[in-house]
Amino acid sequence: MSEQVETGGTAGARLQEDKLEAYMLGHYMGALSGVRLFDEAARTWAGTAYEDRFARFVREIQDDIGHLEAMLDRLGATRRRAAKGLGTATGIASRLNPLSRIRERTGIAAHGELEMLQSLVVAKRSMWVTLLELAPSDPRLDAEELRALEAGAADQYDRLRAIAGETARDRFLARS
């Protein structure tokens, strides 16, 4: 993926594929780690009214990872296998962290974990937007696919925000 591809936009500008690959692989590793955090959250919320919502997040994020892998393949990314190993190891390490509070449903730490999951989705959405900006420069980046992925990330954020809002009262309001 290190070759330079002529862009369709600015005259004389070239897409720096090595930089694009590094950028996308960084997000790829984050996604592999993040899906494990969402999976852990799904287990934490099992048996509650939120169980199905978190299971849906996991399925959607796995699908997003599939789209990102396909894009990396179309772009000829040569380091995806190494990035996958590192991202998987990071995800496992984050689950083994004894200080991780993702296993809790109540308390201030649980609310912070919901906000952290929201931030992961915001980062993913930002990547889709960035790639959408580059799509006119490279036919291997499908603008329609990227628009759909960006809309999906926006929806995921809204749904996570709703869970945080619905559960905040139980965390922060004292019962008399």
Domains and CATH numbers, the chain: 14-172 (1.20.1260)
pLDDT mean over 16-43: 91
pLDDT mean over 70-95: 68
pLDDT confidence of residue 54: 96
Q: Which of 11, 131, 133, 149 lies closest to 74, judged by CA?
A: 131
d(C-alpha 28, C-alpha 81), whole Å: 11
Question: With pLDDT > 90 as the criterion, what percentage of the chain qualifies?
Answer: 55
pLDDT confidence of residue 55: 97
Which two structure tokens, joined as six digits, stand for 13? 């500008």
How does the average pLDDT of the chain come out, rounded? 83
Confidence of residue 2 (pLDDT cuts 50, 70, 90): very low
Confidence of residue 99 (pLDDT cuts 50, 70, 90): very low
Q: Determine the distance from the C-alpha atom of residue 11 to the mean position of all C-alpha atoms in its chain, rounded to a whole number.
A: 33
Confidence of residue 5 (pLDDT cuts 50, 70, 90): very low
Q: What is the pLDDT of residues 125-160, one digit of tens each?
A: 999 999 999 999 999 999 999 999 999 999 999 999
- pTM of the predicted model, to two decimals? 0.81
Q: Using alpha carbons only, what angle is made at residue 12 by residues 6 and 15, rounded to the nearest 5 degrees?
A: 40
